[in-house]
A = this chain, B = another copy of it.
């Protein structure tokens, strides 16, 4: 094991994800500490025995002793934290994150970070529709993807450490992607999908529709219940890639609209067969 259990792990931001990380990693015997905003989160995590120590202040001892620091913060809060507080980090510390966009974060952090620390970025593709350490679980990562997004500035050792962290956390698929590829993929699979859901949910305010709603509409709008603070920030942080995916979608949707206007049944059926075939690829294996 590359990440041996004598190492101290610090989690900055003890919410749903940070708390779930703590729960799983504590089981392996790591020393787990946490820095977070709310005392109630620290109290809960101490009571539940998912952290060894924690603080709502920038505790120099806790931060200075950590070998591995996991940032589970909003993107701009993460960047600000590094700008202001990186002097407190231990020399040689490896830091990683959970941010859902990469290109706009990874290079910025790597550029400003002290040269005796290393930032290796990762995106744990898991979540729930609830938040807070109180909702954290130790089973959230089973079946999910963990994507490490190294740059040419990263050492192989840090990449290996980060991938091993993903495996320890229980992710089923641990893999690497370039930041740009990651952002394209997430722009399509996750962000475009949320754009569509909130558009569908708000484009027709006619009353009483819910009386006739079936499973199809419910499926397409499950994620229309959305954290507006987080997602608006993530959309802007991935603006170029998301706009590209939105344009691909609009072009295709307009093609379908033209087919309908022209009653071009053959083209519609061809598109539907393409859709059916391609959907088969995405079935859960």
Mark A residues whose CB is within 8 Å of B: 125-126, 144-145, 147, 173, 175, 184-186, 188-190, 192-206, 209-214, 216-229, 231-233, 235-236, 239, 242-243, 245-246, 248-254, 256-257, 260-261, 263, 265, 268-276, 278-282, 284
Structural contact, A228 and B269, CB atoms closer than 8 A: yes
Structural contact, B214 and A251, CB atoms closer than 8 A: no
Q: Is the interface of A mostly helix, strand, loop or mixed?
A: helix
Chain B residues lying within 8 Å of A242, measured Cβ to Cβ, are 260
Apart from the given pairs A193-B217, A201-B274, A239-B263, 13 other A-B contacts in the complex at a CB distance below 8 Å: A145-B211, A184-B206, A186-B212, A196-B220, A198-B271, A203-B251, A220-B220, A224-B278, A225-B276, A225-B280, A228-B273, A235-B260, A235-B268
26 A-B pairs within 8 Å (CB atoms) are namely A125-B212, A145-B211, A184-B206, A189-B209, A189-B213, A190-B214, A193-B200, A193-B220, A198-B275, A199-B249, A200-B249, A201-B275, A202-B271, A202-B274, A204-B245, A213-B282, A216-B222, A219-B220, A224-B276, A228-B272, A228-B273, A232-B265, A232-B269, A236-B263, A239-B260, A246-B260
Structural contact, A212 and B189, CB atoms closer than 8 A: yes
Chain B residues lying within 8 Å of A198, measured Cβ to Cβ, are 256, 271-272, 275
Chain B residues lying within 8 Å of A275, measured Cβ to Cβ, are 197-198, 201-202, 224-226
Structural contact, A217 and B203, CB atoms closer than 8 A: no
Structural contact, B225 and A279, CB atoms closer than 8 A: yes
Structural contact, B278 and A202, CB atoms closer than 8 A: yes
Indicate whether A218 sits within 8 Å of B250 (C-beta atoms), given known contacts A224-B275, A245-B204, A272-B198.
no
Chain B residues lying within 8 Å of A251, measured Cβ to Cβ, are 203
Chain B residues lying within 8 Å of A270, measured Cβ to Cβ, are 228
- Min CB gap A178→B, angstroms: 13
Structural contact, B276 and A226, CB atoms closer than 8 A: yes
Structural contact, A252 and B199, CB atoms closer than 8 A: yes
- The residue that A203 contacts in the complex, of B185, B205, B249, B276, with Cβ under 8 A, is B249
Q: How far is the CA of A204 from the CA of B245 in the complex (A)?
A: 8
Q: How far is the CA of A61 from the CA of B173 in the complex (A)?
A: 63
Structural contact, B185 and A209, CB atoms closer than 8 A: yes
